[in-house]
């Protein structure tokens, strides 16, 4: 009986990974200033092995995910000669930014099962969709959101953009757009063999406003009344300055 229990315990113990991801980042922080127009993250690393390289096709996937935010997707229809909002689909959580870079076509380096389990592809990151009974196909609203954010470079699928050298070293560059949400941008590196994930490394990139941007942001959140008065004063001063300038030009 004891031998059987010992054998079952050995089977239940996790096996030591033969391959391990060692990661590097060009920067772990992104500062948003008044003249911030985007940034580029250089992701690089190596694959550490404590045994000969296993058989099977190897793949490397890099994902960067911004803070999740709720999104309302509305449908517009033309009625009585004007465009109006009709149905709306509420999405409880969608990443404000999401990029996937792979060493090959995504369907080749990651199986469908692993994709669902790890939530790697863009659609798998969009969760908790609430739609009214008048909406028969909420998928169309999700596809519209993905299309809009892809055009704004907030969602990126970069297939074949991870370069792997000698089955050991890998590197890629991922562009961050100018419109970024503050917070921790979760970064994952997945190492796969024949579509199955054999190791994963996770870290975070901190994106924060600094300088005047940080002061204005904090003021609007912590003292909204004062922020409103200051905005009103600036608007009045700007209007008076423009009026005075036009008066001088007329004279």
Do 91 and 56 lie in a common domain?
yes
Average pLDDT over residues 114-126: 89
Do 190 and 242 lie in a common domain?
no
Do 203 and 219 lie in a common domain?
no
Residue 110 lies in a domain: yes
Q: Specify the pLDDT at position 111.
A: 94
| Residue 160 predicted with pLDDT over 90 | yes
| Residue 61 predicted with pLDDT over 90 | yes
Q: Report residue 172's pLDDT band, with 50, 70 and 90 as the boundaries.
A: very high
Q: Specify the pLDDT at position 131.
A: 62
Do 73 and 137 lie in a common domain?
yes
What CA–CA distance (Å, rounded) separates 63 from 70? 20
Instruction: Give exposure, 1-22, as e/b (b: 16+ Cβ within 10 Å).
Output: eeeeeeeeeeeeeeeeeebbbe
Do 131 and 217 lie in a common domain?
no
Mean of pLDDT over the chain: 78
Pairing of strands 68-79, 82-95: antiparallel
Q: What's the domain count of the chain?
A: 2
Q: Specify the pLDDT at position 10.
A: 34
Do 152 and 217 lie in a common domain?
no
| Residue 251 predicted with pLDDT over 70 | no
CATH of the domain at 204: 2.60.40.3880
Do 102 and 172 lie in a common domain?
yes
Range(s) of the domain holding residue 227: 210-251
Average pLDDT over residues 53-72: 89
Residue 2 lies in a domain: no
What CA–CA distance (Å, rounded) separates 73 from 96? 14
User: pLDDT digits over 32-47, tens only?
Assistant: 666 667 788 888 889 8
Residue 9 lies in a domain: no
Q: Specify the pLDDT at position 99.
A: 94
Residue 46 phi, psi dihedral angles, 5° rounding: -145, 165
Do 134 and 78 lie in a common domain?
yes
Residue with the bigger pLDDT between 117 and 91: it is 117
What CA–CA distance (Å, rounded) separates 153 from 73? 18
| Residue 175 predicted with pLDDT over 50 | yes
**pTM > 0.95: yes or no:** no
Do 95 and 107 lie in a common domain?
yes
Residue 50 lies in a domain: yes
Residue 10 lies in a domain: no
CB 114 within 8 A of CB 106: no
Q: Report residue 16's pLDDT band, with 50, 70 and 90 as the boundaries.
A: very low
């Amino acid at each position: 009986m004891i031998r059987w229990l010992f054998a079952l315990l050995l089977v239940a113990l996790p096996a030591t990974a033969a391959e391990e991801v060692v990661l590097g980042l060009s920067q772990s922080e992104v500062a948003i200033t008044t003249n911030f127009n985007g940034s580029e993250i250089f992701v690089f690393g190596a694959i550490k092995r404590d045994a000969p390289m296993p058989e099977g096709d190897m793949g490397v996937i890099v994902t960067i995910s911004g803070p999740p935010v709720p999104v309302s997707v509305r449908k517009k229809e033309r009625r009585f000669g004007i465009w109006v909002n009709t149905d709306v689909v509420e999405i409880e959580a969608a990443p404000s930014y999401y990029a996937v870079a792979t060493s090959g076509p995504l369907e080749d380096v990651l199986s469908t099962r692993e994709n669902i389990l790890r939530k790697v592809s863009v659609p798998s990151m969009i969760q908790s969709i609430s739609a009214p009974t008048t909406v028969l196909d909420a998928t169309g609203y999700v596809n519209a959101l993905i299309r809009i954010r892809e055009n704004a470079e907030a969602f990126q699928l970069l297939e074949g953009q991870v370069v792997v050298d000698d089955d050991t070293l890998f590197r890629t560059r991922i562009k961050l757009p100018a419109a970024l949400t503050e917070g921790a941008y979760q970064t994952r590196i997945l190492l796969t063999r024949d579509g199955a994930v054999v190791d994963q490394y996770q870290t975070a990139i901190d994106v924060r406003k600094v300088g005047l941007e940080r002061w204005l942001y904090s003021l609007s959140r912590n003292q909204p009344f004062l922020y409103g008065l200051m905005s009103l004063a600036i608007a009045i001063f700007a209007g008076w300055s423009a009026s005075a300038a036009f008066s001088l030009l007329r004279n």
